[in-house]
Amino acid sequence: MSPKIHLCQPDGRKSCGACCGMYNTIGATRESTDALLRARRETLTGSPCELSLDALAGYREQRLAEETPDKLLPLLRNCPFLGVLDEGTGRVGCMVHPKVCHGRDGRDLGLYDRETCENYLCAAFTHLSPREIQLIVRACGDDSFLYGLVLNDIGFLRGLFQGVADVIGLYPNDDRLLHPTIVEAVAEYLALKVDWPYGDPEAAIIGAYLPDGDENVLRRSIDYAELGLEPSRFDTILTCLGSLFDEAEDVREAEAIVYGAIYEVATRFEALIGASRAG
């Protein structure tokens, strides 16, 4: 993987705005998030790079007055300068970042100062391997909404790898992960993040965690005993998907969906192993 890749803006097709509050609203959906980010950009009359600092400060106050979200994570700030940078792809980012504004830096007008914005690195920078990063970047295509969700849920990706290992007896951690057929199958698995029928309608977007109404964040847990079941072998994945189940049959159906996605990756990976041995 190229050492120049930056997880916030890995390419010109997608980006992540999680630390700026992109997903930090109870009940947020892909559609509502996209509408908000586009509305912010449209509210800025003209190019943000050409507006005076006073005009940008006025914009900030206007958006803060209009946006009164019920936050999932109270301590995380929802910066009004996070918006759509590319109308075509929907790529998001800081509208007053110096790389956007030809050197002028307006980040001190945001809800974090420029030093914090410049130096903060999320857990993905530390815990994802270069190969895992490349896999996520390739599998997410030009979908910024999905990319940020997956990038910030390492357990969801590792749950897939463990599931593949359980099927074929080998943990997938070599360059075969980046083969186009594997990337295609992994993309189908990752898409469960935004198309999951058993997700908590208020907080599935942050998966394994739950706000408690105060300033704390709780680890989500699924009460299998209440449903008369043993813990699922896919508990990590089901939890990362923010699952809520009303009955045991829901769990079984969810497990079948997850297993189908895992099995597709596993069989393709196994086929590549067989092909390399035959060659």
Q: What is the DSSP string of 15-41?
A: ---GGGTTT-STT--HHHHHHHHHHHH
Query: 180 with 168: CB under 8 angstroms?
Result: no
Three-state DSSP state, 91: coil
Written as six digits, the tokens of 82 are 């996070």
- pLDDT tens series, the chain, 279 aa: 444 568 999 998 999 999 999 999 888 899 999 999 999 988 876 677 788 889 999 999 999 999 988 888 888 899 999 999 988 888 999 999 999 888 889 999 999 989 999 999 999 999 999 999 999 999 999 999 999 999 999 999 999 999 999 999 999 999 999 999 999 999 999 999 999 999 988 776 778 877 666 666 678 899 999 999 999 999 999 999 999 999 999 999 999 999 999 999 999 999 999 887 776
Q: What does the pLDDT read at residue 65?
A: 93
Task: Kindly state the tokens that stand for 167.
Answer: 């099927």
For 151, the token pair is 């990038």
In sequence order, what E strands does the chain have?
A: 82-84, 92-94, 209-211, 217-219
pLDDT of 212 reads: 65
| Block residue for tokens 């049959």 | 249
Distance CA 159, CA 178 (A): 17
Q: Which residues of 95-111 are buried (b: 16+ CB within 10 A; e: fewer)?
A: bbbeebbeeebbbebbb
Question: Is the separation of the CB atoms in 53 and 103 below 8 Å?
Answer: no
What pLDDT does residue 263 have?
98
DSSP 62-97: HHHHH-----SSTTS---TTEEES-TTT--EEETT-
The domain spans of the chain are 18-120, 127-278
CA distance 179 to 181: 6
Q: Give the phi and the psi of residue 100 in degrees, each rounded to 5.
A: -90, -35
Residue 2's pLDDT is 45
Q: In terms of DSSP H, where are the helices of 67-168? A: 114-119, 123-127, 130-139, 144-151, 154-168
The set of residues, in sequence order, having a beta carbon less than 8 Å from that of 230 and lying 6+ positions away, is 224
